[in-house]
Amino acid sequence: MLFQSIMHVTFFAEDLNRSIRFYEKLGGKVKMAVKYKAYLDQPESSFYQKALETPEDYCIVYVEIAPGQFVELYPKGEEQKEHIVFNRDTGYSHFAVVVDDIFKARDYLTEQGIPILIEPKIGNSRTWQLWIADPDDNRIEVMQYTPESFQLTGHID
């Protein structure tokens, strides 16, 4: 295969700190954080104006959620439109993460105060799944493989 893994998914956050806290509750760790001032010498950058106005604010934050795999967060810009509705609009729908034990994961998420949108169940691909959402309603599918999981055994219908 050409690719080794997915390196990151990116979201614009309504409240950057709230989103960071959410992904930290999932066990993530901030691995990289860049302030706008890093762009003070780049007037062609889309971050330049903010670098002049709020140089100490963060413009990019990488939260590592698995070794070498990140959720990249940007603060929402003033000109940005409201978040799309889940599964209504073309484009982003969700991302998925794999766990060893779906029920331990559910218990952990519940202990962290993260609402479970869909409780654990076996999906059509013969893989366990449960669903949560981050503070900006970006959906996250939490999955556990089974020996029959189509993702492992292959399945073309």
- Residues counted in the chain: 157
User: Mean of the per-residue pLDDT values for the chain?
Assistant: 91
User: Among residues of the chain, what percentage have pLDDT more than 70?
Assistant: 98
pTM: 0.84
Domain total for the chain?
Answer: 2
pLDDT level of residue 5 (50, 70, 90 thresholds): confident
38 belongs to a structural domain: yes
* Domain CATH code at residue 27: 3.30.720
Structure-model confidence comparison of residues 157 and 58, the more confident one? 58
Structure-model confidence comparison of residues 106 and 124, the more confident one? 106
Stretch 97-126: mean pLDDT, rounded?
95
As a whole number of angstroms, the distance between CA 40 and CA 49 comes to 8
Do 105 and 150 fall within a single domain? Answer: yes
Structure-model confidence comparison of residues 65 and 81, the more confident one? 65
Strands (E), the chain: 8-13, 29-35, 58-66, 69-75, 94-98, 118-122, 128-133, 139-144
Structure-model confidence comparison of residues 86 and 142, the more confident one? 142
Do 72 and 96 fall within a single domain? Answer: no
87 belongs to a structural domain: no
Nearest to 15 by CA among 83, 69, 65: 83
As a whole number of angstroms, the distance between CA 151 and CA 42 comes to 44
pLDDT tops 80 at residue 2: no
- Convert the pLDDT of each residue in 17-66 to its tens digit: 999 999 999 999 999 999 999 999 999 998 999 999 999 999 999 999 99
As a whole number of angstroms, the distance between CA 138 and CA 154 comes to 28
Rg for the chain, CA atoms, rounded: 18
Do 47 and 4 fall within a single domain? Answer: yes
The whole-number pLDDT of residue 155 equals 85
pLDDT tops 80 at residue 1: no
The whole-number pLDDT of residue 44 equals 93
Residue 23 CB neighbours (<10 A) = 23
State the Cα angle at 127 between 121 and 130, rounded to 5°: 40
> 128: domain range?
92-157
* Domain CATH code at residue 122: 3.10.180.10
As a whole number of angstroms, the distance between CA 71 and CA 10 comes to 6
Nearest to 138 by CA among 6, 33, 12: 12
